């Protein structure tokens, strides 16, 4: 039986592949990490993970993101190199937060995730949320980027090119329950 977690993970990997393709980035689909990119003569890895809950909870939902980061940080690829990025689909977590009337404060989220990031070998973490932008009548995969303070310059260059920091506000939106 194909589990929901596998489906959501596959769909997020597919969305990541599409995002890279739209940006003109050549990549190899690998397994650990999920993507390998030759960037300016050096290898960069991207590991993807989907974070979700099955049913509503009263717990602070950031714990699920932290748990996923810690789990992925223990994998072999993140011990061997610092040229690994972690992409996390947090659509479901944002959906449940919105149901509870709790929107995540970006500054607090950056601080809390940044503390965990510093304990890993990931160079950066991007949190992705699928949203329906009602104004533009389209689905979007929006992200929030958190770089390690001493991020590898190669990773920073890649991120600045493909996933630059900035602001894209969507005021009239809907969130799917599952990313």
Residue 179, domain member (yes or no): no
Q: What is the mean pLDDT of residues 79-94?
A: 82
Range of the domain at 139: 4-174
Q: How confident is the model at residue 82 (pLDDT cuts 50, 70, 90)?
A: low
Distance CA 53, CA 37 (A): 31
110-163 pLDDT tens trace: 898 999 999 998 999 999 988 888 888 888 888 999 999 999 999 999 999 999
Distance CA 85, CA 179 (A): 20
29-77 pLDDT tens trace: 988 899 999 999 999 999 999 998 877 766 677 888 999 999 999 887 6
Q: State the total domains in the chain.
A: 1
Helix (H, G, I), strand (E, B) or coil at 87: strand
Q: Do residues 84 and 46 touch, judged by C-beta distance below 8 A?
A: yes
């Amino acid at each position: 039986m194909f589990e929901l977690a596998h489906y959501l993970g596959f769909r997020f990997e597919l969305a990541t592949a599409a995002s890279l393709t739209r940006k003109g980035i050549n990549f190899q689909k690998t397994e650990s990490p999920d993507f390998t990119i030759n960037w300016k003569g050096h290898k960069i890895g991207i590991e993807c993970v989907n974070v979700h809950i099955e049913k509503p909870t009263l717990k602070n939902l950031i714990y699920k993101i932290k748990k996923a980061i810690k789990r992925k940080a223990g994998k072999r690829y993140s011990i061997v190199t610092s040229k690994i990025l972690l992409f996390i689909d947090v659509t479901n977590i944002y959906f449940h937060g919105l149901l509870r009337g709790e929107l995540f404060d970006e500054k607090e989220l950056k601080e809390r995730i940044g503390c965990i990031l510093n304990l890993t070998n990931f160079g950066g973490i991007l949190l992705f949320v699928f949203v329906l932008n009602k104004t533009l009548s389209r689905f979007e995969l929006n992200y929030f980027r958190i770089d390690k303070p001493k991020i590898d310059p190669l990773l920073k260059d890649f991120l600045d090119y493909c996933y630059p920091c900035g602001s894209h506000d969507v005021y009239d939106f809907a969130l799917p329950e599952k990313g």
